[in-house]
């Protein structure tokens, strides 16, 4: 049984001040859809904490801002907010597609984008799109603010670079021009409320029938969600009509094994990651043609 005291700061300033003082003993609570499960399960992942700080009702962290070069999503935006945001749907539909596949309506009504990132699950359905969108995260502490690429923030399975006095406040997504196409793929064991067996986000712009800037992020295939840089390199500048499916499938699987090593699920995932990539590319190509 896990026992703790509750902290409920009224605003960000107060939260950061308390974190500065005793952050080491504090667990942050937002939507709770992962944390309450772990507390219920007495999960080893929780580590030790004395206080649970509820930041779910802190004002100002649940806004979506349309800046000139970036779209900024407040860390406390729920998945439902993301799905219903016309702004996000217009700019980054892939994020909406990812959000729609998370949990159930009830979970999406509570769970937040910041929580999805901070939980650091390799299967998180927002992390892969965000990686493919080259997002960065903004963290605040009492006296500091820092920004770092999402990829660097996630340091391992269920591990992040968040310092104990910090709060992840915003997610910053660089805007891309309207030539960009995207595809989100998810393999699951059932049709709803399903954790990704594999998920994939592909973002690319096609210029003169070639993949120009192409970003490929896989989730649940490797210990943390990650971009497959080798495959990106291979596909960059490739003619979209001259794709060698067999070699893409082969090499995607290989890249996965290089990153993750051989695991119990490798015989399944090795061919399927490539199959999914082909499917995503075909979907994008169909869209362009």
Partner 1 sequence: MQKVKVSLTVNRKKYNLEVDPDERLLDSLRDRLHLTGVKEGCSIGECGACTVIIDGKAVNSCMVYTFQIDGSHVLTVEGLEIDGRLDPLQLSFIEHQAVQCGFCTPGMLMSAKALLNKNPNPDKEAIKTAIEGNLCRCTGYQQIIEAIEAVVKKDGSE
Partner 2 sequence: MEFNHVHKSKKRVDVYEKVTGRAKYGADMRFPDMLYAQTLYTKYPYAEIKNIDLDKAKKQTDVEAIITAEDVPNNKFGVIIENQQVLAEDKSLFIGDGIAVVAAKTAKAAARAIELIDVEYKELEGIYDPLKARKEGSQLIHEENESNQVIHHPLRKGNIKQGFLESDVIIKREYDTPFIEQSYIEPEAVVAVPYQENSTITVYGSIQNPFATQGAVASVLKEKLNKIRIVQNHMGGSFGGKDEVVSSMAARAAILALKTKKPVRLVNTRDQSIKESYKRHPYKMKYKIGATHDGQLKAMQIEAVADSGAYACQTPFVTWRSVVQATGPYEVANVKTDTYGFYTNNIYTGAMRGYGSPQVIFAQESLMDELAEELDMDPVELRLKNIYHNNSITASGQKLDSHQVSLEEVLTKAVEKSDFIEKYNRYKKEQTGDKKRGIGLSISFRGCSLGAEAIDAAGIILSLKKDGSVNLYSGLAENGQGLKTVYCQIAGEILGLDIDRINFMEVDTLISPDSGSTVASRATLIGGNAVKKAANNLKNRIKKFIAESYEQTEDDIVLKDGKIYGKKSIEIMSIAKMSSMAAMEGVCLTSYGWYVSPEISWDEEIGQGNPYFTYVYGCQVAEVEVDIKTGEINVLKMTAAHDVGRAINPANVKGQIYGGVMMGLGYGIMEELKTNQGYIQNTNFDEYLIPTVKDMPDIDPIIVENPDPDGPFGAKSIGEPTLELGAAAIANAVANAADKRIRSLPINLEQIIVGRKLSKGGGQK
Q: Which residues bind partner 2 (CB under 8 A)?
A: 1, 37, 41, 187-195, 197, 264-265, 267-268, 271-272, 275-276, 278-279
Q: Which is nearer to partner 1, 31 or 74 (CB)?
A: 31
Q: Which is nearer to partner 2, 175 or 263 (CB)?
A: 263
Residue 204 contacts residue 229 (beta carbons within 8 Å): no
Residue 113: closest CA among 180, 172, 181? 172
Instruction: Please choose which of partner 2, partner 1, none residue 4 contacts, taking the beta carbon within 5 to 8 angstroms, the exact cut-off set by kind.
Output: partner 1
Would you count residue 105 as binding partner 1 (CB under 8 A)?
yes
Would you count residue 2 as binding partner 1 (CB under 8 A)?
yes
The CA dihedral of 76, 77, 79, 82, to the nearest 10 degrees, is -160
Tokens of 208: 């003169």
**Residue from 39, 88, 150, 281 in contact with partner 1 (CB under 8 A):** 39
> How far is residue 146's CA from residue 60's CA, in Å, rounded to a whole number?
18
In total, the chain counts a number of residues equal to 289
CB of 22 to partner 1, least distance (A): 15
Instruction: Please choose which of partner 2, partner 1, none residue 209 contacts, taking the beta carbon within 5 to 8 angstroms, the exact cut-off set by kind.
Output: none
- Identify the residue whose tokens are 């003082």: 21
Q: Which is nearer to partner 1, 51 or 164 (CB)?
A: 51
Would you count residue 6 as binding partner 1 (CB under 8 A)?
yes
Tokens of 228: 């497959």
Q: Which is nearer to partner 1, 35 or 133 (CB)?
A: 35
Phi and psi based region of residue 111 (left: phi greater than 0; alpha: psi -120 to 50; beta: remaining): beta
The CA dihedral of 103, 42, 123, 12, to the nearest 10 degrees, is 80
Q: What are 185's strand-pairing partners?
A: 200
- Which range, of 24-32, 112-120, 154-162, 263-271, touches partner 1 by CB under 8 A? 24-32
Phi and psi based region of residue 224 (left: phi greater than 0; alpha: psi -120 to 50; beta: remaining): beta
Contacts to partner 1 by CB under 8 A: 2-6, 8, 29, 31-33, 36-37, 39-41, 52, 54, 56-57, 80, 103-107, 109-110, 192-193
């Amino acid at each position: 049984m896990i026992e703790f005291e509750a902290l409920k700061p009224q605003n960000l300033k107060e939260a950061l001040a308390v974190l500065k003082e005793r952050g080491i003993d504090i667990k942050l609570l937002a939507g709770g859809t992962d944390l309450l499960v772990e507390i219920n399960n007495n999960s080893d992942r929780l580590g030790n904490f004395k206080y649970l700080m509820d930041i779910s009702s802190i004002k100002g962290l649940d806004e979506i801002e349309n800046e000139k070069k970036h779209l900024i999503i407040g860390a406390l935006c729920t998945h439902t907010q993301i799905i219903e945001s016309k702004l996000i749907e217009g700019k980054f539909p892939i994020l909406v597609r990812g959000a729609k596949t998370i949990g159930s309506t009830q979970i999406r009504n509570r769970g937040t984008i910041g929580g999805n990132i901070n939980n650091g699950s390799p299967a998180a359905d927002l992390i892969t799109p965000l990686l493919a969108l080259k997002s960065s995260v903004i963290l605040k502490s009492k006296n500091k603010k820092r920004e770092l690429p999402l990829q660097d923030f996630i340091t391992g399975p269920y591990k992040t670079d968040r310092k104990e006095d910090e709060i992840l406040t915003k997610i910053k997504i660089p805007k891309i021009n309207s030539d960009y196409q995207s595809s989100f793929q998810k393999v699951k064991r059932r049709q709803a409320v399903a954790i990704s067996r594999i998920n994939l986000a592909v973002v690319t712009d096609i210029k003169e029938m070639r993949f120009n800037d192409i970003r490929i992020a896989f989730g649940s295939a490797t210990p943390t969600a990650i971009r497959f840089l080798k495959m990106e390199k291979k596909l960059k500048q490739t003619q979209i009509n001259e794709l060698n499916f067999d070699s893409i499938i082969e090499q995607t699987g290989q890249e996965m094994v290089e990153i993750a090593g051989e695991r119990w699920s490798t015989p399944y995932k090795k061919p399927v990651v490539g199959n999914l990539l082909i499917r995503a590319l075909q979907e994008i190509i169909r869209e362009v043609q």
